[in-house]
A = this chain, B = another copy of it.
Amino acid sequence: MNFASDNTTGAAPEIMAALEAASHGQTMPYGADEATGRLNELFGGVFETEVSVYPVGTGTAANALALSTIAPPFGAIYCHETAHVAVDECGAPEMYTGGAKMMPLAGEHGKVPAASLEAALDAVPLGEVHHVMPAALSITQQTECGSHYSVREITALAEVAHGKDLAVHLDGARFANAVAALDCAPADVTWRAGVDIMSFGATKNGAWAGEAVVVFKAALNREIAHRRMRAGHLFSKMRFAAVQLEAYLANDLWLNNARHANRMAARLAVGLSSVPGVRLVHPVDGNQIFAELPEPVLSGLLAEGYLFYRWDAGGVATVRLVTAFNTRTEDIEGFIETAGRYGA
Protein backbone atom coordinates (compact mmCIF):
# COMPACT_ATOMS: atom_id res chain seq x y z
CA MET A 1 0.00 0.00 0.00
CA ASN A 2 1.26 3.41 -1.00
CA PHE A 3 1.03 6.35 1.38
CA ALA A 4 3.79 8.33 -0.36
CA SER A 5 1.51 11.00 -1.70
CA ASP A 6 -2.01 11.68 -2.83
CA ASN A 7 -0.62 12.00 -6.32
CA THR A 8 0.06 8.27 -6.46
CA THR A 9 -3.64 7.82 -7.10
CA GLY A 10 -5.22 7.46 -10.49
CA ALA A 11 -8.35 9.41 -11.33
CA ALA A 12 -11.82 9.43 -9.83
CA PRO A 13 -14.49 7.66 -11.92
CA GLU A 14 -16.52 10.86 -12.22
CA ILE A 15 -13.54 12.61 -13.78
CA MET A 16 -12.80 9.76 -16.14
CA ALA A 17 -16.43 9.77 -17.26
CA ALA A 18 -16.19 13.47 -18.03
CA LEU A 19 -13.01 12.92 -20.04
CA GLU A 20 -14.64 10.14 -21.99
CA ALA A 21 -17.63 12.32 -22.79
CA ALA A 22 -15.36 15.12 -23.90
CA SER A 23 -13.48 12.91 -26.32
CA HIS A 24 -16.24 12.95 -28.90
CA GLY A 25 -17.16 15.67 -31.35
CA GLN A 26 -15.33 18.78 -32.41
CA THR A 27 -14.73 22.06 -30.62
CA MET A 28 -12.67 25.12 -31.26
CA PRO A 29 -9.23 24.81 -29.69
CA TYR A 30 -7.26 26.77 -27.09
CA GLY A 31 -10.14 27.28 -24.71
CA ALA A 32 -12.69 28.56 -27.19
CA ASP A 33 -14.88 25.57 -26.37
CA GLU A 34 -18.05 25.46 -24.30
CA ALA A 35 -16.69 23.57 -21.33
CA THR A 36 -13.87 26.04 -20.84
CA GLY A 37 -16.36 28.82 -21.41
CA ARG A 38 -18.36 27.64 -18.41
CA LEU A 39 -15.45 27.64 -15.96
CA ASN A 40 -15.52 31.26 -14.85
CA GLU A 41 -19.16 31.08 -13.91
CA LEU A 42 -18.78 27.69 -12.31
CA PHE A 43 -15.89 28.78 -10.11
CA GLY A 44 -17.61 32.09 -9.53
CA GLY A 45 -20.50 30.17 -8.01
CA VAL A 46 -18.20 28.19 -5.74
CA PHE A 47 -16.32 31.30 -4.65
CA GLU A 48 -19.37 33.60 -4.55
CA THR A 49 -17.68 36.29 -6.59
CA GLU A 50 -16.46 37.01 -10.10
CA VAL A 51 -13.32 35.09 -10.89
CA SER A 52 -11.25 34.18 -13.92
CA VAL A 53 -9.99 30.65 -14.26
CA TYR A 54 -6.87 29.61 -16.19
CA PRO A 55 -6.32 25.87 -16.38
CA VAL A 56 -2.71 24.71 -16.65
CA GLY A 57 -0.95 21.36 -16.61
CA THR A 58 0.55 21.19 -13.14
CA GLY A 59 0.47 22.76 -9.73
CA THR A 60 3.99 24.01 -10.27
CA ALA A 61 2.83 25.81 -13.40
CA ALA A 62 -0.14 27.29 -11.56
CA ASN A 63 2.07 28.59 -8.77
CA ALA A 64 4.74 30.01 -11.02
CA LEU A 65 2.23 31.57 -13.39
CA ALA A 66 0.30 33.16 -10.55
CA LEU A 67 3.46 34.52 -8.96
CA SER A 68 4.66 35.94 -12.28
CA THR A 69 1.56 38.10 -12.46
CA ILE A 70 2.16 39.65 -9.05
CA ALA A 71 5.94 39.81 -8.69
CA PRO A 72 8.29 41.64 -11.04
CA PRO A 73 11.76 40.23 -11.85
CA PHE A 74 13.19 42.48 -9.16
CA GLY A 75 10.54 41.48 -6.64
CA ALA A 76 10.65 39.54 -3.39
CA ILE A 77 8.13 36.80 -2.68
CA TYR A 78 7.70 35.92 0.98
CA CYS A 79 6.72 32.37 1.87
CA HIS A 80 7.23 29.69 4.48
CA GLU A 81 10.63 28.06 4.36
CA THR A 82 9.02 24.72 3.58
CA ALA A 83 6.84 26.10 0.78
CA HIS A 84 6.64 24.08 -2.40
CA VAL A 85 7.35 27.21 -4.43
CA ALA A 86 10.57 27.72 -2.50
CA VAL A 87 12.02 24.22 -2.33
CA ASP A 88 10.25 21.74 -4.59
CA GLU A 89 9.75 23.39 -7.96
CA CYS A 90 13.30 23.59 -9.27
CA GLY A 91 13.09 27.34 -9.53
CA ALA A 92 9.85 27.54 -11.52
CA PRO A 93 8.82 30.82 -9.85
CA GLU A 94 12.24 32.22 -10.70
CA MET A 95 11.82 31.14 -14.32
CA TYR A 96 8.31 32.50 -14.74
CA THR A 97 8.96 35.78 -12.93
CA GLY A 98 12.29 36.33 -14.63
CA GLY A 99 14.29 36.07 -11.44
CA ALA A 100 12.21 37.19 -8.47
CA LYS A 101 13.56 36.06 -5.14
CA MET A 102 11.87 33.73 -2.69
CA MET A 103 12.19 34.99 0.89
CA PRO A 104 11.73 32.01 3.20
CA LEU A 105 10.25 32.65 6.66
CA ALA A 106 10.20 30.28 9.61
CA GLY A 107 7.04 29.35 11.48
CA GLU A 108 5.53 26.42 13.36
CA HIS A 109 3.75 23.65 11.47
CA GLY A 110 4.40 25.16 8.08
CA LYS A 111 2.59 28.43 8.70
CA VAL A 112 3.98 31.93 8.30
CA PRO A 113 3.12 33.98 11.40
CA ALA A 114 1.82 37.44 10.54
CA ALA A 115 4.31 38.93 12.97
CA SER A 116 7.21 37.31 11.14
CA LEU A 117 6.05 38.69 7.85
CA GLU A 118 5.68 42.11 9.38
CA ALA A 119 9.14 42.00 10.91
CA ALA A 120 10.67 40.90 7.64
CA LEU A 121 8.96 43.68 5.73
CA ASP A 122 9.89 46.28 8.32
CA ALA A 123 13.51 45.27 7.94
CA VAL A 124 13.53 46.18 4.24
CA PRO A 125 14.69 49.75 3.70
CA LEU A 126 12.07 51.53 1.61
CA GLY A 127 13.10 52.41 -1.91
CA GLU A 128 16.49 50.85 -1.35
CA VAL A 129 17.49 49.57 -4.74
CA HIS A 130 20.11 47.17 -3.43
CA HIS A 131 17.34 44.93 -2.18
CA VAL A 132 14.68 43.19 -4.15
CA MET A 133 11.34 44.95 -3.82
CA PRO A 134 8.76 43.23 -1.61
CA ALA A 135 6.01 42.19 -4.01
CA ALA A 136 4.09 39.16 -2.88
CA LEU A 137 3.20 36.78 -0.10
CA SER A 138 2.61 33.16 -0.99
CA ILE A 139 0.91 30.92 1.54
CA THR A 140 0.06 27.25 1.24
CA GLN A 141 -3.31 25.87 2.28
CA GLN A 142 -3.10 22.99 3.32
CA THR A 143 0.47 23.63 4.40
CA GLU A 144 3.40 21.35 3.66
CA CYS A 145 3.10 20.17 7.27
CA GLY A 146 -0.51 19.12 6.95
CA SER A 147 -1.83 22.05 8.98
CA HIS A 148 -4.39 24.64 7.94
CA TYR A 149 -4.41 28.39 8.26
CA SER A 150 -7.55 29.65 9.97
CA VAL A 151 -9.57 32.40 8.34
CA ARG A 152 -8.27 34.74 11.00
CA GLU A 153 -4.66 33.82 10.30
CA ILE A 154 -5.00 34.44 6.58
CA THR A 155 -6.78 37.70 7.21
CA ALA A 156 -4.00 38.88 9.50
CA LEU A 157 -1.33 37.92 6.96
CA ALA A 158 -3.16 39.59 4.10
CA GLU A 159 -3.55 42.76 6.11
CA VAL A 160 0.16 42.96 6.70
CA ALA A 161 0.86 42.15 3.08
CA HIS A 162 -1.59 44.61 1.57
CA GLY A 163 -0.46 47.27 4.01
CA LYS A 164 2.90 47.09 2.30
CA ASP A 165 1.48 46.75 -1.23
CA LEU A 166 2.20 43.06 -1.50
CA ALA A 167 -0.24 40.87 -3.38
CA VAL A 168 -1.33 37.62 -1.75
CA HIS A 169 -1.10 34.24 -3.46
CA LEU A 170 -2.47 31.00 -2.10
CA ASP A 171 -1.04 27.66 -3.19
CA GLY A 172 -4.06 25.42 -3.02
CA ALA A 173 -2.66 22.11 -4.17
CA ARG A 174 -4.66 20.55 -1.32
CA PHE A 175 -7.22 23.32 -1.05
CA ALA A 176 -10.17 20.92 -0.95
CA ASN A 177 -8.76 19.18 2.11
CA ALA A 178 -8.41 22.52 3.83
CA VAL A 179 -11.94 23.68 3.01
CA ALA A 180 -13.34 20.34 4.06
CA ALA A 181 -11.48 20.43 7.36
CA LEU A 182 -12.22 24.05 8.14
CA ASP A 183 -15.81 23.53 7.07
CA CYS A 184 -15.95 27.08 5.77
CA ALA A 185 -17.02 28.78 2.57
CA PRO A 186 -14.24 28.73 -0.04
CA ALA A 187 -14.63 32.50 -0.20
CA ASP A 188 -13.86 32.84 3.50
CA VAL A 189 -10.35 31.43 3.22
CA THR A 190 -9.56 33.16 -0.04
CA TRP A 191 -10.66 36.54 -1.36
CA ARG A 192 -12.72 37.51 1.67
CA ALA A 193 -9.61 37.01 3.77
CA GLY A 194 -7.50 38.95 1.30
CA VAL A 195 -6.20 36.40 -1.21
CA ASP A 196 -5.72 38.01 -4.63
CA ILE A 197 -4.90 34.97 -6.72
CA MET A 198 -4.69 31.27 -6.09
CA SER A 199 -3.51 27.97 -7.47
CA PHE A 200 -6.48 25.63 -7.39
CA GLY A 201 -5.46 21.99 -7.39
CA ALA A 202 -7.65 19.04 -8.26
CA THR A 203 -4.99 16.54 -9.29
CA LYS A 204 -4.16 15.18 -5.85
CA ASN A 205 -7.83 14.82 -5.07
CA GLY A 206 -9.14 12.92 -8.07
CA ALA A 207 -8.24 14.57 -11.37
CA TRP A 208 -5.39 13.45 -13.59
CA ALA A 209 -4.26 16.93 -14.49
CA GLY A 210 -6.64 19.45 -13.03
CA GLU A 211 -4.88 22.60 -11.99
CA ALA A 212 -5.84 26.21 -12.53
CA VAL A 213 -4.97 29.71 -11.56
CA VAL A 214 -8.01 31.45 -10.13
CA VAL A 215 -7.86 35.22 -10.24
CA PHE A 216 -9.88 37.17 -7.69
CA LYS A 217 -8.38 40.59 -8.38
CA ALA A 218 -9.55 41.50 -11.85
CA ALA A 219 -6.56 43.69 -12.72
CA LEU A 220 -4.36 40.59 -12.73
CA ASN A 221 -6.12 39.30 -15.82
CA ARG A 222 -4.35 41.80 -18.00
CA GLU A 223 -1.28 39.67 -18.64
CA ILE A 224 -1.92 36.18 -17.40
CA ALA A 225 -3.31 34.77 -20.64
CA HIS A 226 -0.20 35.75 -22.57
CA ARG A 227 2.03 34.46 -19.80
CA ARG A 228 0.24 31.11 -19.79
CA MET A 229 0.55 30.77 -23.54
CA ARG A 230 4.25 31.44 -23.61
CA ALA A 231 4.82 28.99 -20.78
CA GLY A 232 3.29 26.32 -23.00
CA HIS A 233 0.27 25.79 -20.76
CA LEU A 234 -2.53 26.71 -23.09
CA PHE A 235 -3.76 23.26 -24.08
CA SER A 236 -5.02 23.11 -27.65
CA LYS A 237 -7.67 20.62 -26.54
CA MET A 238 -8.45 22.66 -23.47
CA ARG A 239 -11.85 21.06 -23.04
CA PHE A 240 -10.14 18.01 -21.55
CA ALA A 241 -8.69 20.18 -18.82
CA ALA A 242 -11.95 22.04 -18.34
CA VAL A 243 -14.18 19.03 -17.93
CA GLN A 244 -11.95 17.61 -15.23
CA LEU A 245 -12.47 20.75 -13.20
CA GLU A 246 -16.16 20.76 -14.00
CA ALA A 247 -16.66 17.20 -12.83
CA TYR A 248 -14.52 17.96 -9.82
CA LEU A 249 -16.78 20.74 -8.62
CA ALA A 250 -20.04 19.02 -9.63
CA ASN A 251 -22.08 17.47 -6.84
CA ASP A 252 -19.47 18.45 -4.29
CA LEU A 253 -17.14 15.75 -5.56
CA TRP A 254 -14.15 17.82 -4.53
CA LEU A 255 -15.33 18.21 -0.95
CA ASN A 256 -16.61 14.69 -0.60
CA ASN A 257 -13.30 13.32 -1.85
CA ALA A 258 -11.41 15.57 0.52
CA ARG A 259 -13.60 14.73 3.47
CA HIS A 260 -12.94 11.07 2.89
CA ALA A 261 -9.19 11.59 2.71
CA ASN A 262 -9.25 13.70 5.85
CA ARG A 263 -11.25 11.06 7.72
CA MET A 264 -8.80 8.40 6.69
CA ALA A 265 -5.93 10.52 7.94
CA ALA A 266 -7.64 11.23 11.23
CA ARG A 267 -8.24 7.53 11.75
CA LEU A 268 -4.66 6.74 10.87
CA ALA A 269 -3.41 9.41 13.24
CA VAL A 270 -5.44 8.09 16.13
CA GLY A 271 -4.37 4.54 15.44
CA LEU A 272 -0.70 5.43 15.18
CA SER A 273 -0.80 7.49 18.35
CA SER A 274 -1.59 4.39 20.29
CA VAL A 275 1.59 2.71 19.10
CA PRO A 276 4.30 3.12 21.74
CA GLY A 277 7.08 5.46 20.65
CA VAL A 278 5.18 7.04 17.82
CA ARG A 279 4.94 10.81 17.99
CA LEU A 280 2.91 13.04 15.69
CA VAL A 281 5.11 15.95 14.63
CA HIS A 282 2.35 18.27 13.46
CA PRO A 283 -1.37 18.46 14.20
CA VAL A 284 -3.28 16.34 11.68
CA ASP A 285 -5.76 18.79 10.21
CA GLY A 286 -6.13 17.34 6.72
CA ASN A 287 -4.80 14.35 4.84
CA GLN A 288 -1.12 14.44 5.75
CA ILE A 289 0.47 12.86 8.79
CA PHE A 290 4.01 13.49 9.92
CA ALA A 291 5.12 10.99 12.51
CA GLU A 292 8.28 9.96 14.25
CA LEU A 293 8.51 6.21 14.21
CA PRO A 294 10.63 3.95 16.40
CA GLU A 295 13.20 2.16 14.27
CA PRO A 296 11.55 -1.31 14.51
CA VAL A 297 8.23 0.14 13.40
CA LEU A 298 9.81 1.93 10.48
CA SER A 299 11.73 -1.07 9.22
CA GLY A 300 8.82 -3.38 9.86
CA LEU A 301 6.49 -1.29 7.73
CA LEU A 302 9.04 -1.09 4.94
CA ALA A 303 9.65 -4.83 5.12
CA GLU A 304 5.97 -5.46 4.65
CA GLY A 305 5.88 -3.33 1.54
CA TYR A 306 4.37 -0.08 2.72
CA LEU A 307 5.48 2.89 0.67
CA PHE A 308 5.95 6.38 2.09
CA TYR A 309 8.55 9.14 2.12
CA ARG A 310 11.11 9.75 4.83
CA TRP A 311 10.83 13.29 6.14
CA ASP A 312 13.60 13.27 8.69
CA ALA A 313 14.53 16.36 10.62
CA GLY A 314 17.16 16.66 13.26
CA GLY A 315 18.28 13.05 12.95
CA VAL A 316 14.97 11.55 14.06
CA ALA A 317 13.31 9.01 11.77
CA THR A 318 10.19 10.75 10.57
CA VAL A 319 7.77 9.74 7.86
CA ARG A 320 5.04 11.45 5.92
CA LEU A 321 1.84 9.50 5.29
CA VAL A 322 -0.72 10.88 2.88
CA THR A 323 -4.24 9.63 2.44
CA ALA A 324 -6.36 10.27 -0.61
CA PHE A 325 -9.85 10.29 -2.02
CA ASN A 326 -9.73 6.54 -2.59
CA THR A 327 -7.83 5.33 0.45
CA ARG A 328 -9.63 2.33 1.87
CA THR A 329 -10.38 1.76 5.52
CA GLU A 330 -8.70 -1.61 5.36
CA ASP A 331 -5.50 0.01 4.14
CA ILE A 332 -5.53 2.24 7.19
CA GLU A 333 -6.33 -0.58 9.54
CA GLY A 334 -3.61 -2.69 8.00
CA PHE A 335 -1.07 0.03 8.45
CA ILE A 336 -2.01 0.59 12.09
CA GLU A 337 -2.04 -3.08 12.82
CA THR A 338 1.39 -3.56 11.26
CA ALA A 339 2.84 -0.58 13.07
CA GLY A 340 1.37 -1.87 16.32
CA ARG A 341 2.84 -5.30 15.76
CA TYR A 342 6.38 -3.97 15.32
CA GLY A 343 5.95 -1.34 18.01
CA ALA A 344 4.84 -3.68 20.70
**A-to-B contact residues, CB < 8 Å:** 2, 4-5, 7-11, 13, 15-16, 19-20, 22-30, 56-65, 72-74, 87-92, 94-102, 127, 129-133, 203-204, 208-209, 223, 225-237, 240, 307
A60 touching B232 in the complex, CB below 8 Å, given contacts A209-B240, A223-B74: yes
CB-based contact A91/B230 at 8 Å? yes
CB-based contact B58/A235 at 8 Å? yes
Which residues of B sit under 8 angstroms from A20, Cβ to Cβ? 16, 20
A94 touching B100 in the complex, CB below 8 Å, given contacts A10-B237, A23-B11, A232-B64: yes
CB-based contact B233/A58 at 8 Å? yes
The residue among A10, A60, A228 with the most chain B CB atoms within 10 A of its own CB is A10
Please measure, in the bound complex, the distance between the C-alpha atom of A35 and the C-alpha atom of B10, giving whole angstroms: 13
Considering only CB atoms, which chain B residue lies closest to A128 in the complex?
A: B90
The residue among A19, A225, A236 with the most chain B CB atoms within 10 A of its own CB is A236
CB-based contact B91/A132 at 8 Å? yes
CB-based contact A91/B64 at 8 Å? no
CB distance from A237 to the nearest CB of B (A): 5
Could you list 13 A-B pairs, sorted by A, with CB under 8 Å? A11-B23, A15-B23, A19-B208, A20-B20, A56-B57, A58-B236, A60-B229, A74-B230, A92-B231, A96-B232, A99-B99, A209-B209, A231-B232
CB distance from A228 to the nearest CB of B (A): 8
Considering only CB atoms, which chain B residue lies closest to A9 in the complex?
A: B26
Please measure, in the bound complex, the distance between the C-alpha atom of A4 and the C-alpha atom of B11, giving whole angstroms: 32
A233 touching B230 in the complex, CB below 8 Å, given contacts A11-B23, A74-B90: no
CB distance from A248 to the nearest CB of B (A): 14
Which residues of B sit under 8 angstroms from A237, Cβ to Cβ? 7, 9-11, 203, 208-209
CB distance from A313 to the nearest CB of B (A): 11
CB distance from A309 to the nearest CB of B (A): 10
Please measure, in the bound complex, the distance between the C-alpha atom of A225 and the C-alpha atom of B72, giving whole angstroms: 13
Considering only CB atoms, which chain B residue lies closest to A240 in the complex?
A: B208
Please measure, in the bound complex, the distance between the C-alpha atom of A234 and the C-alpha atom of B64, giving whole angstroms: 13
A95 touching B88 in the complex, CB below 8 Å, given contacts A223-B74, A233-B232, A234-B58: no
A73 touching B89 in the complex, CB below 8 Å, given contacts A4-B28, A209-B235: no
Which residues of B sit under 8 angstroms from A11, Cβ to Cβ? 23, 237, 240
